[in-house]
């Protein structure tokens, strides 16, 4: 057992070193250590002050111990913990570096310094220390968690997967994993990397392991649900998002994600309800209002759809899809002039989008502007891969475009005149 472990263990288990308040004050104020107080007694006192949240007093005493003997690495480790409590990052790094010089095989110093670099937004320095930590200690789940979290943020997925495999090897080695409460998050970060590399089945498997370790973690169900959605396993996706919401009813992200699943399931009323819940929880992003407009649209509530499309465009006037969708909703409301205006604005931003060309061609025809309508039929042929034939809408609907029966009738009228 190294010096650090011995001294810390003595502090945690020792029953001696009862020092009264006056003695603490005398020492803190600068009185010289007496021969009746051993270094170990003083070290235990520092530990007790630290555990009692008397961090300034603890710092002064540990500095006195270090001044007496600068060769004991345990003093520097305890000083690091005190400095962490005081949030003095620059001094933490300096102290941990001195500790490493004294005891280069003590993984705790690299862990402390790496974490400080991480919070100081110095990812490469943190990464270097985390690498060293795992060279020295391969059986601590928190160390893997810290390293994988950093690699996830840096999007270094190849390295992340290699580190995760090292963790898996440790799990099957039969040795006890220290700090096992972090195991679930280790699986979670592994799943993220595999998901980004399109290995969705592996990601689902790892999230299942994370859920077994931490069945109350809503985020794990959320992420697995999104992967199920990508795999077109929509009922499984909904089940996971239901569970995420059951565990955390105040997270708007989970309702937003379930909205998308409901929409894919064509359960538009449920999708709309989730979007309204997102808004009630304080998310006022324009994308939410745009999605809400679309749900009203597919539910044939064109007045509400138009209201929300207009709201979005007042804040961001050049969204092509919103302009086009708004135009179609206005057509359903017989507001032809305004619908034409929206289509014309959309056409400026995307002159080759077939959905816009089709819509504007029909509305020009409805409005009696035959020459403009014919020009757009030509543009469909020239600017897109489609032929401007009567069956075009059927072709487009197979590609997830959507047209109302009223619009289809207006399109067919263009060929009957």
Domain at 319-417: CATH code:
1.25.40.10
pLDDT of 1 strictly over 90: no
Assess whether pLDDT exceeds 90 at residue 138: yes
End-to-end CA gap in the chain: 95
What stretch of H or E contains 346?
Answer: helix 336-349
**CA atoms 382, 387, 393, 399: torsion sign:** negative
Question: What is the mean pLDDT of the segment spanning 368-392?
Answer: 96
Element (H, E) at 253: helix 252-264
Query: Residue 1: CB partners within 8 Å, gap ≥ 6?
Result: 9
The burial class, CB within 10 Å (0-12 / 13-18 / 19+), for 329 is buried
pLDDT for the residue 3? 42
Strand, helix or coil at 284?
coil
In this prediction, residue 12 has a pLDDT band, given cuts at 50, 70 and 90, of very low
- Residue 15 has a pLDDT of 40
Residues across the chain: 417
CB neighbours of 340 closer than 8 A, spacing ≥ 6?
327, 360, 363, 364, 367
Cα–Cα nearest to 292, from 338, 334, 256: 256
Phi, psi of 28 (to 5 degrees): -65, -35
* Phi, psi dihedral angles at 178 (to 5 degrees): -75, 155
Residue 13 has pLDDT above 50, yes or no: no
What is the CATH architecture assignment of 1-135?
Alpha Horseshoe (1.25)
CATH 1.25.40.10 positions along the chain are 1-135, 319-417
The pLDDT of residue 8 is above 60: no
Q: Are 81 and 93 in contact (CB under 8 A)?
A: no
Percent of the chain clearing pLDDT 90 (strictly above): 88
Residues 6+ apart with CB under 8 A from 8: 47, 74, 77, 78
- Closest of 59, 56, 61 to residue 41, by C-alpha: 61
Predicted local distance difference test score (pLDDT) of residue 9: 40
Give residue-wise pLDDT tens across range 68-90: 999 999 999 999 999 999 999 99
**Which ranges of 69-199 does DSSP label H, i.e. alpha helix?**
73-86, 89-102, 107-119, 123-136, 141-154, 157-172, 183-196
The CA dihedral of 389, 395, 397, 401, to the nearest 10 degrees, is -70
pLDDT value for 14? 45
Nearest to 395 by CA among 413, 408, 382: 408
| pLDDT for res 167 | 96
Instruction: Tell whether the model's pLDDT for residue 28 goes beyond 70.
Output: no
Residue 104 has pLDDT above 80, yes or no: yes
Whether 45 has a pLDDT exceeding 70, the answer reads yes
Is the pLDDT reported for residue 247 higher than 90? yes
Using CA atoms, how far residue 75 sits from 42, 61, 96, 291, in Å, is 11, 10, 11, 58
Has residue 303 got a pLDDT over 90? yes
Q: In this predicted structure, what is the pLDDT of residue 400?
A: 87
Q: Residues 317-346: what's their mean pLDDT?
A: 97
Q: What is the pLDDT of residue 417?
A: 61
Q: What is the pLDDT of residues 183-237, one digit of tens each?
A: 999 999 999 999 999 999 999 999 999 999 999 999 999 999 999 999 999 999 9
> Is the pLDDT at 2 greater than 70, yes or no?
no
């Amino acid at each position: 057992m190294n010096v650090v472990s011995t001294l810390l263990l003595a502090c945690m288990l020792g029953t001696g070193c009862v020092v009264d308040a006056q003695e603490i004050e005398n020492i803190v104020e600068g009185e010289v250590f007496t021969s009746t107080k051993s270094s170990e007694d003083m070290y235990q006192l520092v530990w007790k002050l630290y555990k009692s949240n008397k961090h300034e007093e603890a710092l002064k005493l540990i500095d006195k111990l270090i001044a007496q003997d600068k060769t004991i690495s345990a003093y520097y480790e305890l000083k690091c913990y005190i400095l962490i409590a005081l949030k003095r990052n620059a001094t933490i790094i300096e102290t941990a570096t001195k500790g490493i010089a004294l005891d280069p095989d003590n993984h705790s110093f690299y862990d402390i310094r790496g974490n400080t670099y991480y919070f100081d937004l110095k990812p490469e320095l943190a990464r270097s220390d985390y690498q060293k930590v795992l060279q020295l200690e391969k059986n601590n789940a928190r160390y893997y968690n810290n390293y994988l979290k950093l690699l996830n943020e840096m999007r270094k997925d190849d390295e992340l997967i290699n580190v995760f495999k090292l963790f898996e090897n440790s799990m099957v080695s039969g040795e006890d994993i220290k700090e096992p409460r972090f195991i679930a998050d280790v699986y979670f970060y592994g799943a993220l990397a595999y998901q980004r590399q399109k290995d969705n089945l592996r990601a689902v498997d790892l999230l299942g392991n994370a859920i077994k370790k931490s069945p109350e973690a809503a985020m794990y169900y959320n992420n697995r649900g999104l992967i199920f959605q990508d795999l077109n396993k929509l009922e499984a996706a909904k089940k996971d998002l239901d569970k995420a919401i059951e565990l955390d009813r105040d997270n708007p992200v989970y309702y937003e994600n379930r909205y998308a699943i409901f929409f894919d399931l064509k359960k538009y009323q449920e999708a709309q309800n989730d979007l309204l819940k997102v808004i009630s929880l304080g998310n006022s992003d324009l994308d939410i209002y745009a999605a809400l407009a679309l749900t009203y649209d597919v539910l044939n509530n064109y007045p509400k759809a138009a209201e929300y499309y207009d709201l979005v465009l007042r804040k961001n006037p050049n969204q092509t899809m919103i302009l086009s969708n708004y135009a179609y909703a206005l057509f359903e409301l017989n507001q032809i002039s305004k619908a034409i205006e929206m289509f014309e604005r959309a056409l400026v931003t995307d002159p080759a989008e077939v959905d816009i060309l089709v819509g504007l061609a029909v509305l020009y025809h409805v409005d009696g502007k035959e020459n403009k309508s014919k020009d757009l039929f030509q543009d469909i042929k020239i600017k897109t891969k489609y032929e401007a034939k009567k069956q075009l809408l059927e072709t487009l609907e197979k590609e997830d475009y959507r047209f109302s029966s009223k619009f289809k009738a207006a399109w067919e009228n263009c060929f009957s005149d």
